Chain A
Amino acid sequence: MRPNVLGKLAVLGVFFAAAAEAQPPSTAAGPPASPPAWSVVAGYESFWLRDIAKAGPPVDASPIAWEGGGPAVVVSYDRGRPGRLHHFEGLFAGAGGFSLETPVRSIPGPADDSEKRFGGRYEYRRYPFRDIWLTGFDIGFGIEGSGDRLILARHFQPSIDLDTALTNFGAAGVLAVRLHRWMRVDLLATWGNGVSIGRATTNHYADIDTTQRGWGGGWQSALQLRAAARVGPRTSLVVSYFNAGEGRLASHDSFTFGRSRFAAGVSYGQ
């Protein structure tokens, strides 16, 4: 995690903590934007990739990361009841401005290196432990399925192009911690871990042009911190931080990659 992201999170944390402390404990009113609710958040997402020599653990990955960033938009829909939730999510993210990040310096990459990602996710979550330790503090568990397409365009000097398209399907278990102690502020942390399987197509354009296709499998891990503050009868402001890592293990083509996203938007619900 970058220090500037930590700084933004700290400022947000102070803001929401202050707002939350100003609120009385929840009574009849529900949390902000209760299901069914639509949310749209947009922000900046960084993407990194390191190729793997040995799958491990410990995973033997390159000391250098290919890293860039760009805009991301996430649209989600929640339905169900506060204790039983169906969460649907769609994502688009694109990254540019890539560089090779070594432990001690940054080497600018080709200007036309890029990453694009389209994806969808469904999660069914229940909160069997409610109001534990303190009123409004819930612990829940979920299972999720996901699918996404990752498109990488890389270039090497003098005129070598490497295009990779990866279609991944994943399944994961999710641990959720929710704090909805106040009328206007809702805090949520989720941590998912699971497996993925995917098929990659790699086109290499150089002295000879080659296309290679192959299946691979791997792991995925994602952490999300989300805060919502009610600003109207049905509307809430939402800010979120998302950090995920994935590994793909395949014959002659293994790498690990991840994303960090800071986003803000609105949620509209009951």
Chain B
Amino acid sequence: MGNRFRRLFVALALAWPGSQCHAVLGPTPVDTNWRVIDSPHFSFNVRPGSFAEQNIARIGEVLEDQYDTTLRVLDIRYSGRVSLFLYNSAADGDMESERAGKAYPDTETVRATSGPPLDSNLFLLLSHESNHVIQQNALGSPGTYFLGEGLPSAVLSERYYPNGTTFLYGWTASHLSQIPALSLLVDDSKWNSYDQQVAYNASASFLAYLLELRGPQLLKQLQPASSVSFTRQFQATYGRSLDEADRDWRAFCASRPR
């Protein structure tokens, strides 16, 4: 009898699906080795004694400026608190690289690697991911990767680092031949087939150009447009075709002093 019950318990233990979710397809568990530091709009979850914790004053200063900039440039109302989980390294956060991040707008959360150095790339990453949270909650889910990934970098503040239009327009001018037609870039089915640095920078540069030229109200109308309806929605919103705007944007960037 005892052996039979032991076999039963072993069988049940092997079949146990784990707490909350499926053991294979469910989300990975989260560890509790975090220290929380709050700023007016952010909750920074850092590893005790980490590089991020040592530099949290500077990180908070830059991101608070970015938060205000995003609201002002896009003329949106949002006052939620963004929680950032700053990992020591790619291995620590199970990320693809030492400068990688993910945003989870529904839970107002960001995960990002935040090891040294404390440079413009780190702040570009943290600002971009935080903007995902702010923008999606204020404007709704993007209908395309073009808006979803372009807009968070299109509104980067240049108060501390030249990650905004100074970089984007210069980058566009020097990469004109590599940038696919925007009518292709707005197609979600093709987005992942392009070099992701090109896709991200080109979409951000074009959206920054639209913001500078016509302001945020028209741009907001594009946020929900899907790949299927994007070019039609663009024509209806801006009164000209996406291809025409594409040509004007390239000429604008090329004509700027380097």
Contacts and interface: CB of A to CB of B under 8 A. Distances in A.
Interface residues of A, number: 61
A196 B152 CA distance: 32
Interface in A199-222: 202, 204, 206-208, 210-212, 219, 221
A175 interface: yes
Contacts of A255: 106
A28 interface: no
A103 B31 contact: yes
B140 interface: yes
Interface stretch (B4-12, B62-70, B200-208): B4-12
A160 B27 contact: no
Contacts of A52: 27, 104
A64 B126 CA distance: 18
B148 interface: yes
B108 interface: yes
Contacts of B31: 103
Interface in B55-78: 75-78
User: By CB atoms of chain A within 10 A, which of B4, B7, B12, B24 has the most?
Assistant: B24
B93 to A, nearest CB: 10
B238 interface: no
A53 B103 contact: yes
Interface stretch (A8-16, A114-122, A151-159): A151-159
B135 to A, nearest CB: 11
Interface stretch (B116-124, B178-186, B217-225): B217-225
A255 to B, nearest CB: 6
A51 B104 contact: yes
Given A1-B20, A62-B107, A64-B109, A210 B224 contact: yes
B188 A251 contact: yes
B87 to A, nearest CB: 10
A243 to B, nearest CB: 7
Nearest to B29: A103
Contacts of B11: 177
Interface in B1-33: 1, 4, 7-8, 11-12, 15-17, 19-22, 24-28, 30-32
Contacts of B76: 206-207
Q: Please tell me the size bucket of the interface on B.
A: 35 or more
A124 B139 CA distance: 45
B89 interface: no
Nearest to A223: B17
Contacts of A177: 8, 11-12
Given A48-B20, A158-B77, A206-B138, A191 B28 contact: no
A87 to B, nearest CB: 20
B190 to A, nearest CB: 14
A50 B80 contact: no
A103 B22 contact: no
Given A62-B109, A156-B108, A212-B140, A247 B28 contact: no
B34 A103 contact: yes
A18 interface: no
B83 A207 contact: no
B12 to A, nearest CB: 7
Contacts of A154: 106
Interface string A60-75: 1111111000000000
Given A102-B83, A207-B138, A160 B34 contact: no
Contact of A133 (B8, B26, B83, B223): B8
A59 B107 contact: no
B104 A62 contact: yes
User: By CB atoms of chain B within 10 A, which of A103, A134, A154, A193 has the most?
Assistant: A103
A4 to B, nearest CB: 13
9 contacts: A49-B107, A61-B28, A102-B34, A137-B4, A154-B106, A156-B137, A221-B17, A247-B26, A255-B106
Given A104-B36, A206-B78, 12 more contacts: A52-B27, A53-B102, A58-B27, A59-B27, A62-B109, A160-B77, A206-B76, A206-B139, A210-B224, A221-B26, A223-B16, A245-B26
